Structure formats: C-alpha cells, structure tokens
Structure 1
Amino acid sequence: MNTIMIGAGAAVLCLLAVGVVWRRRSGSSAGQSQRAHRDAQQRTPPVSLGETYEFGVTEFTDHHSGDRVAVAKVEGFVVFTTDVPAGVSPGDVIQATITSFNRNETSADAIFAGRP
C-alpha cells in the first residue's frame, strides 16, 4: 500500500513539474510576441504608401477581409498582399504596391504588382 502511495505521489510531482515547464515556455513565447508588437508600434514603417516593393512570400492566410492573402515581411514589418495569382507559393518572390496601413501602422496592406 505504501509503495502505491509513493508511486502516486511521484506521478503527481512529475505532472506538476511538466506543467510548470510548459507554462514557462508558452509564457516566454507570448512575452516575445508582445515585445515584438510593442517595438513595431514604436517604429516608423519601412514601407511607404503607393510604393512598390519586392519580397518573398512567407505564407498564405485568410485576411480580415475574407480574402486569401500572401504574408511577407519587409525588415520584419508584416505586409498582407491581395490579388496574388494562384501559382504563387510560399518562398516565391513577388512585387506589391502598398495601399494602406493598419490603425497603429504595425502592418500594411498591398496589392500584387507582378513578379520580378
């Protein structure tokens, strides 16, 4: 009986230890994300309205507009690009023209302008 109690206690301690490690790791990731967002709010965007830029597509996502958009970064600044042809894949380089910024200028919307 004592062996069972000791084993159960050890199992509970192991589960608690795993929970603490998991929480610290996920908290660290959330903290890094919050710091990056705060830093983005405090800097001037590296892109300008009406200008065309060349960058690599990192992924595709559904934008708040409901459209499928290409996601890219210019100097760490996120650019969501619409009207990207179906043949474009993550890793492809495209050109896009900046059309607007979000409210805090931490990201921009663009429209596909072609391939280099």
Structure 2
Amino acid sequence: MKQVINTNMAPVPGGHFSQGIKMNNRVYVAGQPPVDPETGKVPETVEEQTRIALTNIKNVLEAAGAKLEDVVKVNTYLTNVEDFKKYDKIYQEFFTDNLPVRTTIGCDLKGIPLEIDAIAEL
C-alpha cells in the first residue's frame, strides 16, 4: 500500500508532488532543493546548499521510519558541475559506510543550484 510522506522538517514541494512515498519496504524521496524549511532561504555556498538538501532528505526518510543508512540510490543534479568536489566533500559527511549507488548530473534547474533525491530500502 502506498503511503504519502510529508514533514514540516523539509520544504513544502514547489509543485504538485509529495515529499516522499513509502511503499512496501521502500521509501522514495522527491528531489530536495537546498531550501531551509524554517527560513525558506537558500544558503550562498554549495557546501551549505548540499548540507541542507541532504538534511531535508534525512528528515523525509525519518518521517517515513527510515534513515540515511537505508539509502540505496541517490541522484544529484548540479547546475554547476564545477562544484562537484565541494558537493562530494559534504556528501561524504552524510554517507560514510555501506555507500549507496549515485548518479550526478549537470543540468539547468531554473534558479535552483542543486537538487538531490533518494531511494531507501527498509
């Protein structure tokens, strides 16, 4: 059975979609922008942006009863691929062992510097 996941610990979606979906033993987290859910602001640096986007993912996962250690797949979309090393350094703080697979794509996000989504298996 499909369960919609919403939490005030992640930004409200900017479109017609859920923050996350839990179905059977899997959690799908929608692309999380680097928006601080408390202030609605996007920090200046890619390091801060990455930290906030990954924290948003962590919070959606926790609302679904999962944790970062359960993540099996991450997709990252970077407006500026030259920021990859900075992004990757912060990413390593969140995923330390049992690393999920990951795809990183450079693309135009229409004003959003980065977006990260994830799939977790419980």
What TM-score bracket applies, with the shorter chain setting the length?
under 0.3
The TM-score, its normalising length taken from structure 2, stands at 0.26
Q: Which structure shows the bigger proportion of residues in strand conformation?
A: 1
In our comparison, the structure showing a higher alpha carbon Rg is 1
Q: Which structure shows the bigger proportion of residues in helix conformation?
A: 1
Which fold has the larger relative contact order, with Cα–Cα distance below 8 Å and residues 6 or more apart in sequence? Answer: 2
